[in-house]
Structure 1
Amino acid sequence: MKAYVFPGQGAQFTGMGKDLYENSPLAKDLFEKANDILGFRITDIMFEGTAEQLKETKVTQPAVFLHSVILAKTLENFNPEMVAGHSLGEFSALVANGALSFEDGLKLVSQRALAMQKACEITPSTMAAVLGLADNVVEEVCASIDGVVVAANYNCPGQLVISGETSAVEKACEAMKAAGAKRALLLPVGGAFHSPMMEPAREELAAAIEATVFSAPICPVYQNVTASAVSDADEIKKNLIIQLTAPVRWTQSVQQMIADGASLFTEVGPGKVLAGLIAKIDKEAATANA
């Protein structure tokens, strides 16, 4: 079965999508529609902006979403049998499988970015990558720390990201190293994504998601929250709301897709991060980049 996967924040690069814009009338039309919806020319920042400009959350999330979704729409023979997206990428996946319209997906991603930015400004918070420890050890160390710190991204075996209050994450990093982690290093992010620190953003986004029409998808989406195939529009909505404060179960999602018959994973969007993670999750898995 053909599986398509969509990257999240961090995959952006200057010049992303420019070739699509210049070579596909459909892509150009969609990019210009996006500029109108957002109220600023995001294409100028995507094509010519600095890395700093691209790192702004209000830019990053819509930019990665647009690159992925517009690339999917211009692919020949795009007939996904299953889709998944990493964090923000779940919105790209939901447009690709027909659960969300392009316009509604972009509006939700923009609202999500702004809500997350606001939540980041309430309390000093951050994330850190932990390499070389088993999942259960990372979870146990987080549970032993005073303050808010949780496992946020299960990226592949031996590579987890933790998230929470800055002081708690720093303490957890020291404890992870003491427990045998190869590395435990703070990430250059704006805040504690996929942790309880995102509760204000979750509440804000919940209202927007509830007010948006979701359709029956053409194929299942393997959602971050459940790591299982979901086709019911109401369930997709519910999981999308929970996603902001819950961990991204990427390892488990990929393992379930393989168990359900995924024979080729095609990454759609900027970068090759997900293809690399999938190869670490299952060395036999076939990967490609759109």
Structure 2
Amino acid sequence: MSQGFAVLCPGQGGQHPAMFDLLRADTRGQDILREQVLATRFDRPLDEILHDPQLLFANRYAQPLIVATGLAAWRVLRDELPPPALVAGYSIGELTAYGVAGALTDNEAIDLAAARAAYMDASLAQAPHQGLMSVGGVEAGEVEELLRRHGAFVAIVTGFDTLIAGGRSDDLLAAANELEGLGARTGILPVGIASHTPLMESALSPFTAALDALDFREPACAVLAGVSGLEIHDIPSARRTLAQQLTHTIRWSSCMDACAERGVGVALELGPGSALSRMLRERHPHIECRSVSDFRSLAGVVNWLRSRLD
């Protein structure tokens, strides 16, 4: 195990039309994408999805594609690098994390991501017009209390005064108006469901059944549970916390703190996007952290990491 090296796996929000370009430019990456059968996995061509923002940010495509690109990138990189000491995933990225840790194959994780997205989308039948909203500039405890008054929830905690709120769209807008009066910054995110809130309750049972049906392997390295920031090493805990995060707040700030507490000095975000590496650098500036998305080639990623890990 390489002490001090962590892998971060992003959630939704950073996907873009070129998110597979580094992989397509790499011979090994091309082979892995063929193994993931992305060309025929969906009900329309992959490039059509990538170049249509409405499709690319729809859960049914976004969640499996984010898992697919993260795991494909890691498979290209992993043979050139020491194994990580920790892996952490943000929202759907937690499935990617278990793939990185060897508990799931690529296709198992991608299939599970697609099922997860379908179960979450089905929750809209019982509670339509949901969403997520970023909030910054007001202490998180004060925001949580205000959200509760409006029937909304804290979905993800990212810092002392930054978080993601989830709930019905009208409730979020009402909360936003009051928050902005307090000096907060708010912004509606391109996600049409209230992930990590009680509005996902109807997805819990079928997703738990899907997890139980999988031949989960024991993680080869520690995976941080999003709901707590605690290390997961065993299969029952992995299944339990993956299901729990559907309806419970993600404590991403705790995951970042866990990286620092366990002596992580270098971290790599698998992409797409670079939000996690930016947040980690801001919270713990002593940790060197970059995203695959920062580089022009996967070989460049390897060279950077080797220079930091040697």
Shift of residue 246, structure 1, vs aligned partner: 1.0
Please give the residue correspondences for 1:1-290 in structure 2 after superposition, counting only pairs within 5 Å. 1-25=4-28, 27-35=29-37, 38-40=41-43, 43-45=46-48, 49-75=51-77, 76-123=80-127, 124-145=129-150, 147=151, 149-178=152-181, 180-290=182-292
Query: CA separation in 2, counterparts of 1:38 and 1:78?
Result: 32
Q: Is the 8 A contact 1:35 1:43 kept in 2?
A: no
- The percent of aligned pairs where both chains have the same amino acid is 26
TM-score, normalisation: structure 1: 0.91
Q: Is the 8 A contact 1:215 1:233 kept in 2?
A: yes
Whichever residue aligns with residue 145 of structure 2, its letter is E
Whichever residue aligns with residue 101 of structure 1, its letter is T
> Which deviates the most, 125-134 or 168-177?
168-177
Unaligned 5+ segments in structure 2 are 293-310
From the superposition, tell whether residues 280 and 157 of structure 1 become closer, same or farther in structure 2 (CA, over 3 Å): farther
Whichever residue aligns with residue 230 of structure 1, its letter is I
Unaligned 5+ segments in structure 1 are none
Q: Secondary structure at the match of 2:167?
A: strand
From the superposition, tell whether residues 41 and 269 of structure 1 become closer, same or farther in structure 2 (CA, over 3 Å): farther
Q: Is the 8 A contact 1:157 1:281 kept in 2?
A: no
Detail structure 1 runs of 4+ shifted over 6 Å in the superposition.
Answer: none
Shift of residue 283, structure 1, vs aligned partner: 2.5
Q: Is the 8 A contact 2:36 2:106 kept in 1?
A: no
Q: Is the 8 A contact 1:265 1:286 kept in 2?
A: yes
Q: Is the 8 A contact 1:202 1:245 kept in 2?
A: yes
> Which deviates the most, 34-43 or 88-97?
34-43
Query: CA separation in 2, counterparts of 1:156 and 1:42?
Result: 38
Per-residue CA deviations over 1:234-256 (Å, capped at 9, x if unaligned) read 10100000111111111111101
Q: Is the 8 A contact 2:6 2:84 kept in 1?
A: yes
From the superposition, tell whether residues 279 and 42 of structure 1 become closer, same or farther in structure 2 (CA, over 3 Å): farther
Whichever residue aligns with residue 151 of structure 1, its letter is V
Whichever residue aligns with residue 37 of structure 2, its letter is N
Shift of residue 42, structure 1, vs aligned partner: 5.6
Query: CA separation in 2, counterparts of 1:42 and 1:280?
Result: 38
Query: CA separation in 2, counterparts of 1:269 and 1:54?
Result: 15
Q: Secondary structure at the match of 1:208?
A: helix
Shift of residue 41, structure 1, vs aligned partner: 6.0
From the superposition, tell whether residues 41 and 98 of structure 1 become closer, same or farther in structure 2 (CA, over 3 Å): farther
Q: Is the 8 A contact 1:157 1:280 kept in 2?
A: no
> Which deviates the most, 275-284 or 81-90?
275-284
Query: CA separation in 1, counterparts of 2:190 and 2:75?
Result: 32
Q: Is the 8 A contact 1:135 1:157 kept in 2?
A: yes
Q: Secondary structure at the match of 2:23?
A: helix
Whichever residue aligns with residue 109 of structure 1, its letter is A
Q: How many residues align?
A: 285
Per-residue CA deviations over 1:1-25 (Å, capped at 9, x if unaligned) read 1010011111110021133124223
